[in-house]
Amino acid sequence: MICLTAILATSLSDAHGDEGMWLFNDLPLAMLKERYGFEPSNEWAEHLMKSSVRFNVGGSASFISSTGLVLTNHHVGSDTLFKLSTPERNIMEVGFLAKTPDQELKAPDLELNQLVNIKDVTDVVKASVTDGMSTEQAVAARRAVIARIEKAALDESGLKSTVTTLYGGGRYHLYQYKKYTDVRLVWAPETAIAFFGGDADNFEYPRYCLDATIFRVYEDGKPAKIEHFLKWSANGPEENEVAFVSGNPGRTSRIFTMDALKYQRDLNLPYIMANLRRQEILLQQYALRGKENARRARDELFGVQNSRKARLGMLAGLQDPQVLADKAAAEAKLREIIAADPKLKALGSAWDTIAETTKKRASLLGKGVAINSQLYNIALELVQMAEEDQKPSGERLPEFSDAGRESLLQQLYSEAPIYTDLDQTLLGDSIAKTLEQRGFDDPVCQKILAGKSPADRAAELISGTELLSVEARKKIAAGGIQAINDSKDPLIMLAKIVNPPIRRIRSITDQLDEQDKQAYALIAEAKFATQGTSAYPDATFTLRLAFGPVKGYEQDGQQIPAWTNVGGAFEHEKQHEGQTDYKLPESWKKAESKLSKTTPFNFVSTADIIGGNSGSPVVNKAGELVGLIFDGNVQSLSGNYVYTDKQARSVSVHSSAIREALQVVYGADNIVKELGQ
């Protein structure tokens, strides 16, 4: 049982509309009661929390039946759809429906997490770091105590246990999850309707997308029995009705200082954008070689394009003079208040610390090793795991600790297909990029090349490796450091070459992160002292509650409605006749006369979301499912750093559209029956 704490309303005037990604154990009860006349009970919050699900590939979901059905986005499930597809059966494109449980397809490496408990461990974590410690000692001490907490919690409960940093280092919470690793695909629509409008409409609104997919979790070979699941709303939300979003927003940086924001604006985001554009062109060129190449590249290309557009929006937000002016004014106000208070004055050193760490981060940008491919990443993971396993769990890099070993091995030993021609293309280009960053004559680069061009070296590495075989990976992992030292596998040997510089950069950034944690903990303390605890923490890919009314907005002098409807999808196709991304699938054209054209399709609300919220359930005050988050509009993309509800909107698939599509278009009566519809 979680305990809800009513948050003080001392800084509500500083919030922008319905800004906030709130902790489930610290919900803004006073705000909800004041604005919407609604005060969620402990039972309401616990039920929603335990009905919510996190995908290990990134994304959110929810249980929608007592028999283990899980609803998420098509694009969240696309990693699995891609892995289950073949040249002969392209599930990603043509969709899938299991009429009976025995037809459901098992995902090769998918893990779903259900949050069941939250515990504050701040005092224990903070006590591990003392004033006399060097930064390196502080990193080691904090890492050790977190590993101990996680392992003890795992041993005691059997639950996946992870300590999460909140408020930049001001708080630490232990999150415990029930894991589901037997996950099977039940239904997926065609990409043509799930991503209707393609990249052109991505992050735009109005939209007409059925971005939804249904999986089922199993235990002991049988559909899992689920106590907490969301009941389907009969009609969905009304306009101006408050909607609640329960999901796992990835990362926000709203606590960042002005120095940190300027670093993102001027250096880091442009650097990331350049890399994404390079990857996008590479994958597009690969896809143009043929139909099968396009199928193989499709999932990764979508991810790159999505990331590129998202970061373009973030950058646009930071390039808006008014956004930074507001941020600068808020920072100056806070610093002025604490400088005038003798008890708080010492906290002002935090901004100086972050200014210094930011300069050091800038000096490291582009100085690492940029090599990337699936098989190379497997090799590097094997090398680093063997090295880390020689240490006690508390001294290892966090990803190799005992508490997370099962999840790590599930991914490492995945049977999902790896396409060597695509992997070779990625590897060759990433070697070339490393040469550009470090310089051709750099000693590490010369060892990487071994006298060959990047393309020839990549061909040699991929053709010579045995790591396509899961059994080969298991054998090397079982052999530990001796197997790594003895291995003649060319990718293992490459990983051993680049591992030292990778570790060197990792060590430096870990120390910078530690300094930032300590500094942001002071800033959090300053905010708590001056604003109370009404501030929410930045997103950390852990479960949060957001909320806001369903309503449209004004753009370019036009009023954008809150809703689209099914009929609008057919009109949208006509308006873009001849454009591939606006072609509805045949299943929809055949069902057109049977569909209710007035059924709501997509809708927007002011709920505060970010990447990672994809697949989040949208519920009403009764806790009924009324929608499925799948996107934000372009104005929401600056939400990584700042939120305003003037135009920023979260975009959802309406629950009625999903239900009608299942019934009328796909004949999925078996699913509809399970939903109690």
* Digit-coded pLDDT (tens) for 169-178: 999 999 999 9
Contact 72, 61 (CB under 8 A): yes
Predicted confidence (pLDDT) at residue 556 exceeds the cutoff of 80:
yes
- Give tens-digit pLDDT for 330-360: 999 999 999 999 999 999 999 999 999 999 9
- Give tens-digit pLDDT for 295-326: 999 999 999 998 998 999 999 999 999 989 99
Predicted confidence (pLDDT) at residue 224 exceeds the cutoff of 60:
yes
**Which residues touch 332 (CB under 8 Å, ≥6 apart)?**
none
- Give tens-digit pLDDT for 661-671: 999 999 999 99
- Give tens-digit pLDDT for 230-285: 999 999 999 999 999 999 999 999 999 999 999 999 999 999 999 999 999 999 99
Other Cβ atoms closer than 10 A to 547 = 26
Contact 361, 367 (CB under 8 A): no
Per CATH, which fold does 12-111+181-253+537-674 belong to?
A: Thrombin, subunit H (2.40.10)
pLDDT of amino acid 20: 94
**Which residues touch 219 (CB under 8 Å, ≥6 apart)?**
180, 182, 225
Residue with tokens 């060129």: 285
- Which of residues 97 and 639 earns the better pLDDT score? 97
pLDDT of amino acid 676: 82
Contact 163, 146 (CB under 8 A): yes
Other Cβ atoms closer than 10 A to 297 = 23
pLDDT of amino acid 535: 77
Closest to 635 (Cα-Cα) out of 384, 240, 317: 317
Average pLDDT of span 147-153: 97
Average pLDDT of span 21-27: 95
Domain locations along the chain: 12-111+181-253+537-674, 334-528
Closest to 176 (Cα-Cα) out of 250, 121, 110, 251: 121
pLDDT of amino acid 644: 86
pTM: 0.92
Predicted confidence (pLDDT) at residue 513 exceeds the cutoff of 70:
yes
In the chain, % of residues over pLDDT 70: 97
pLDDT of amino acid 213: 98
pLDDT of amino acid 122: 96
First to last CA, the chain: 30
Predicted confidence (pLDDT) at residue 8 exceeds the cutoff of 60:
no
Give the sheet arrangement for strand 563-565, strand by strand: 22-23, 544-549, 242-247, 617-619, 625-632, 650-654, 600-605, 563-565
Contact 291, 676 (CB under 8 A): no
Closest to 150 (Cα-Cα) out of 406, 473, 487: 406
- Give tens-digit pLDDT for 575-609: 999 999 999 999 999 999 999 999 999 999 999 99
HSE, side-chain direction, 13 A CA sphere, residue 180: 31
**Which residues touch 300 (CB under 8 Å, ≥6 apart)?**
283, 422
Mean pLDDT score of the chain = 94
Closest to 174 (Cα-Cα) out of 138, 146, 132, 204: 146
In angstroms, how far is CA 251 from the centroid of its own chain?
8
pLDDT of amino acid 16: 55
Average pLDDT of span 367-384: 97
Average pLDDT of span 182-190: 98
pLDDT of amino acid 6: 33
- Confidence band, pLDDT 50/70/90 cuts, at residue 530: confident
Tell me how many helices (H) and strands (E) the chain has. Answer: 24, 21
- Confidence band, pLDDT 50/70/90 cuts, at residue 17: low
Residue with tokens 């390039």: 319
Closest to 61 (Cα-Cα) out of 34, 44, 80: 80
Contact 298, 82 (CB under 8 A): yes
- Give tens-digit pLDDT for 411-470: 999 999 999 999 999 999 999 999 999 999 999 999 999 999 999 999 999 999 999 999
